[in-house]
Amino acid sequence: MKPLKKHANFAGPEGPVVLVIMDGVGIGHGDAGDMVAKATKPNLDWLKANSIVTQLKAHGIAVGMPSDGDMGNSEVGHNAIGSGRVFDQGALLVKRSVESGAMFEGDVWKSLSQSLGEESALHFIGLLSDGNVHSHIDILLAMLTRSKQDGVKKVRVHTLLDGRDVPPTSALQFIEQLENHLESINGEADFDYCIASGGGRLYITMDRYNADWPMIKRGWDTHVKGIGRPFASAKEAIETLRAETPGVIDQDLKEFVITRDGRPIGPIVDGDSVILFNFRGDRAIEISRAFDEPGLDTFDRGPIPDVKFAGIMQYDSDLQIPKTYLVSPPEIEDVMGEYLAISGIRQLAVSETQKYGHVTYFFNGNRSGKFSAQLEEYVEIPSDQLPFEQRPWMKGGEITDVILNSIQNRKHDFIRANYPNGDMVGHTGVNLAVEISVEVVDLCVGRLIKAIDAAKGILIVTADHGNADEMYELDKEGKPKLDGGGNPKSKTSHTLNPVPCYIYDPAGSANLRLTSHTDLGISSLAATVMLCLGFDPPDNYDPAIVEVG
C-alpha cells in the first residue's frame, strides 16, 4: 500500500472533513409509520436545501448481502463505508459454504460432529429467525440435517429469540418451524434432537462491546448450566412469559430452560461439542470468549465444561475469537483508515458504546486496533444502561461535544462519528421515542453545521441503513398491515429503503458537484471522503459521489 496521491486541482479544505453516520435514518415513504418524515428536523431540512444531495443504496447486493431482499445492517454498512468497496459478507459466505457442502467437509465440522461419545451432545446456540443479519434459521436446519446424516445421535438447540430483525412477536413461527424439523429427525430410532433453552436476544447471550456482561452470564447459566425457569416446551415458555408481561417483544423475553422429569434437558457438559451459528461478529464475541478463554474474569462461570467450541465464523481475526470456526470471514484489505494513516491524515472516530465498534472495528475492515497510534484517536462514550425508549437522546450531545472540541481546536483532519439513536431506539417499536431520537440527531447536526461554517470544513451526513423510516409492517401495496385489533403492526427491523447523503462545503473551495455515476451505494462514501480531503481515491474503490470542479 502506498500513500494516496494528492488531487491535481484541490488540496483539501481549510477545516476538517466530518462524516456523520445517522444510524438507522433512511428515506421512507412519508406515511404514518415514517418517524424520520414525522420528526421535526430543521437542520436536516436546511442541509437538503443548501448542500449537495443524493440518496444511496444501503441494503442487499450493494453491501454484500445475498440478495436485494436482504436488509442492510450496521456491520456490513460500516464495512462498506470504510473499505470503499463491496465484499461478500457473512450471510452470503455461510450460505454458499452450506449449499456447496464445503463447510461439512472441513476438518472443524468433522471434529465437532464425529468425536462425540455415546452420551455426548452436539449443541447449537444462536438467533432463531430468518432476519439474515446475525443468523438464518435455514442454516441451522441444514446443520441439523447434516448432523443426522453424520450419525450424531444427540443434539440440543439453545434458541435466542429475535423480534428485532424480524416482526417483534414472531418467535413462535420460528419455534414451530424448528420443532417440526426436529420431530422429523426424531422419527427414526436412536435420534434425540430437541430445544434445550432460550430467551430474548437483548436479555441473554448477545451483548456487544462489553456493555453488559451480566447478559452473558445469564446466557451462560441458561445454556451451559441449565439454570432458569423450567418449562415443558419452548412454546409453553414463550406463551407464558408473554401472558405475564403484556406487550413484551421477543428480544426482551426472559430466559427459560426445557426440563424432563424435573431436570434440564440440555446442559453443556464435558465431552460435548458446541457451535455458535450466528455469523455476525459484534454480538457473538463475548459468548465466544466465555467458551474459549480460560482466564476470562468478567463473570463467574463456575466449573468450565471441557468441550469443543466453534463459531460458524471467526468474529475477530486480530484477536482470534474464536480460535476454531467453520467458515472463513471476508478478507477486507486496503481500507480507507489505513490509506489515510499512511498519507499523514489525523483521524478521530467517536460514538457511544452501542456503535463504537462500528466506527472502529467494522469501519477498519474487521480489524482491532489502530493503523497509527500517533495519527488516530478513538473515543468511546459509555452508553446508558437503560432501555432505549426511556432515553431516546442517548449520548448524542456528548458525541457532538467531542466532535466540536476537535473542530474548534484543529485536532484532526478527518472525523467519523456514529449517532446510534435512529437504529437503537427504532428497534424498540415505540414510535414517540423513535421520533424524538431523530430530532435529537437533527439538533446535533445543527451544532455541527455551525462549527463547519466557522472552520471552513466539509460535512458529509448519511446513514448506514434504514430503520426509523418504517415503523409499521407494510403490505405489497405499501399500506400498513393490521393486527387483530385493527391497529398497524409494529416493525422493529431494518428497512430496504435508501439512505440520504448531504455534502456541505460552506467555503466552496472544492467547487463540488454530483458525479455522473448513478445508482451508487454507501461504499462510495470512502472515495468521497478521500476526494474531499484533497486526494485521488484508489482505482479499485467504488466511484465518489461528487467531483471536484
The residues that are catalytic are 74
Query: Residue 335 corresponds to which cell in the numbers above?
Result: 481500507
Q: Which of 247, 264, 246, 99 is nearest to 255 (CA)?
A: 264
Dihedral of the alpha carbons of 371, 373, 377, 380, in degrees to the nearest 10: 80
Angle at which helix 137-149 crosses helix 107-114, to 10 degrees, equals: 60
- Cβ proximity of 469 and 108 under 8 Å: no
Residue 36: C-alpha distances to residues 32, 262, 482 (Å): 10, 50, 21
The maximal CA–CA distance of the chain, rounded, in angstroms, is: 78
The C-alpha cell 447434516 sits at 146
Angle at 264 between CA 259 and CA 265, to 5 degrees: 80
385 vs 374: CA distance, rounded Å: 32
- Cβ proximity of 422 and 437 under 8 Å: yes
- Cβ proximity of 512 and 50 under 8 Å: no
| C-alpha neighbours within 13 Å on the C-beta side of residue 278 | 26
* Secondary structure letter of residue 519 according to DSSP: S
Angle at which helix 234-244 crosses helix 171-186, to 10 degrees, equals: 160
Q: How many CB atoms lie within 10 A of CB 268?
A: 25
Neighbour-count burial for 432-451, b at 16+ CB within 10 Å, e otherwise: ebbbbbbbbbbbbbbbbbeb
Q: How many CB atoms lie within 10 A of CB 320?
A: 12
Query: Residue 198 corresponds to which cell in the numbers above?
Result: 432460550
373 vs 317: CA distance, rounded Å: 20
Query: Residue 413 corresponds to which cell in the numbers above?
Result: 483532519
Q: Which of 299, 415, 418, 404 is nearest to 354 (CA)?
A: 418
The C-alpha cell 447449537 sits at 124
